[in-house]
Amino acid sequence: MDYLVFGVAIVAVMLGIALFSRVPYYSPLVISGVVWLMVLLTGMAVHQAFYPITAGAFTLWLLWFGITALFYLAFSVMRPAPVHSETPVVRKLPLDYSLIILGLIAWLAWRTWELGTTGPQHFFLNLRLSSIGLEGFERLGMLERVYPVVFALFLFEIVHSRKENRHLRFLLWLWMLLYAVSNMGKFALLTPIVAWLVIKGLQGRMTWRLPALVALVTLPLMGVLHLVRAGADYQHTLADDFGVYTYSPLVALGHLDQAPPATLGAYTFRFFYAVMHRLFGAAAPEPVILPYVDVPFATNVYTVMQPFYYDFGYAGVVIAAVFFGLVFGWLFYLARSKRPLPVMLYAGFAIVLVGQIIGDLFITTLSGNLQFLIAASAIVLLSKRKPT
């Protein structure tokens, strides 16, 4: 309990500094502070139902949050990057791709129905087991490859929101939400919502009330997703599961098996091992789905620090914290220029900041992130300035 109180005090001080310094609430500093504050406050409420946080896990968190927060604060108080234009520049792609998105929506709806109705479990659980790649369950296939491109298009149209592209924004929202259903994934639902909020913030079109209102709607929807995908033996309450999803990863980090990795940087450099496996038949990379540990509830997520701590110990966490602090701090600094590509990239990767309490959504899933980076860059390069 003392660790939790100390942690809350540290985060509260950092958020207080952010407020005093007028740091935007869509900045990496505030996003990180809020999600970790939620974890620690949840821990104070439910800690008796879980094993205690170990000294090692708290030290790792202290290193991670302290280092990243200092970098985020430094980039947030720097003089903003020069604004691209006093008048927002509207860009559009040189073709109306509405029919393509309609086709992708129909394809995704068909595959969702097919996967949900052909498995041995009920419809929504079949979708969930398919999305995590459980043996014997078919995947979405090519639609997973399409996701980075559609997500990049979604962000591009939101950045250049106007009356003329309302139909495209509607179709892209529909595809993104249907994709969340096809995966039965809470973060698949949260990703476009967080990105949309960040873009509105960067464009000066959001007050603090909007995120609060969106949270009141989104959190119950995430709860519904969680309930409808549960198996017949599901017996936990939503309160139990909220503690498991938010607080247990930090507890589980202290119970992570620290057996020496089979290969150097097995998790940190997983992308490169996967490429070598695909091209040259080298050993298969470590699986993304991690083994479970009881805390005493079973969980298999260990916060963003897991891959770096497992591979390189405390030094790995320190180096990774510096890397994240530089990347997301600099990306936020560039996004404040309102240039389309930095805005799209920061908004698209903002889910990494939200999801750090669960696991690493940046390095571990580097392949998908690189695909999104390439797609976003190509879309901006292909777009043309709309005549005024």
Residues 218 and 260 in one domain: no
Q: Distance (Å, rounded) from C-alpha 286 to C-alpha 283? A: 9
Residue 266 forms part of a structural domain: yes
Residue 94 forms part of a structural domain: no
Give me 364's structure tokens: 């571990």
Residues 214 and 263 in one domain: no
Residue 294's DSSP bridge partners are 298
Residue 385's DSSP bridge partners are 91
DSSP state for residue 163 in the 8-state scheme: G
> Alpha helix locations (H) across the chain?
2-20, 28-46, 55-77, 98-118, 123-131, 142-159, 166-183, 186-202, 209-228, 238-246, 248-253, 270-280, 306-335, 340-355, 366-382
Among 157, 148, 147, residue whose Cα is nearest residue 372: 148
Residues 218 and 244 in one domain: no
Q: Distance (Å, rounded) from C-alpha 347 to C-alpha 291? A: 31
Residues 214 and 238 in one domain: no
Among 186, 144, 192, 203, residue whose Cα is nearest residue 170: 192
Task: For residue 79, count other CB atoms closer than 10 A to its CB.
Answer: 7
Residue 10 forms part of a structural domain: yes
Contacts of 144 (CB under 8 A, 6+ apart): none
Residue 104 forms part of a structural domain: no
Residues 237 and 377 in one domain: yes
Residues 222 and 236 in one domain: no
Residues 222 and 239 in one domain: no
* Residue whose pair of structure tokens reads 């406050």 in the numeric block: 41
Q: Distance (Å, rounded) from C-alpha 105 to C-alpha 73? A: 41
Residues 217 and 247 in one domain: no
Residues 219 and 237 in one domain: no
Residues 174 and 119 in one domain: yes
Domain span holding position 40: 2-87+230-385
Domains: count for the chain: 2
Residue 264 forms part of a structural domain: yes
Residue 384's DSSP bridge partners are 92
Measure the CA angle with vertex 353, ends 348 and 357; round to 5°.
135
Among 279, 278, 289, 267, residue whose Cα is nearest residue 363: 267
Residue 132 forms part of a structural domain: yes
Q: Distance (Å, rounded) from C-alpha 108 to C-alpha 247? A: 34
Residue 138 forms part of a structural domain: yes
Residue 93 forms part of a structural domain: no
Q: Distance (Å, rounded) from C-alpha 9 to C-alpha 62? A: 12
Give me the average pLDDT of each 10-residue run along the chain (388 residues): 92 95 93 96 91 95 98 90 66 92 97 89 86 80 94 97 94 96 90 96 82 80 74 61 87 83 85 86 81 89 95 95 98 93 97 96 94 97 80
Q: Distance (Å, rounded) from C-alpha 260 to C-alpha 10? A: 32
Among 329, 338, 342, 352, residue whose Cα is nearest residue 376: 342
Residues 268 and 363 in one domain: yes
Contacts of 278 (CB under 8 A, 6+ apart): none
Q: Convert the pLDDT of each residue in 16-35 to its tens digit.
A: 999 999 999 899 999 999 99
Residues 118 and 82 in one domain: no
Note whether 12 and 44 are within 8 A (CB).
Answer: no
DSSP state for residue 46 in the 8-state scheme: H
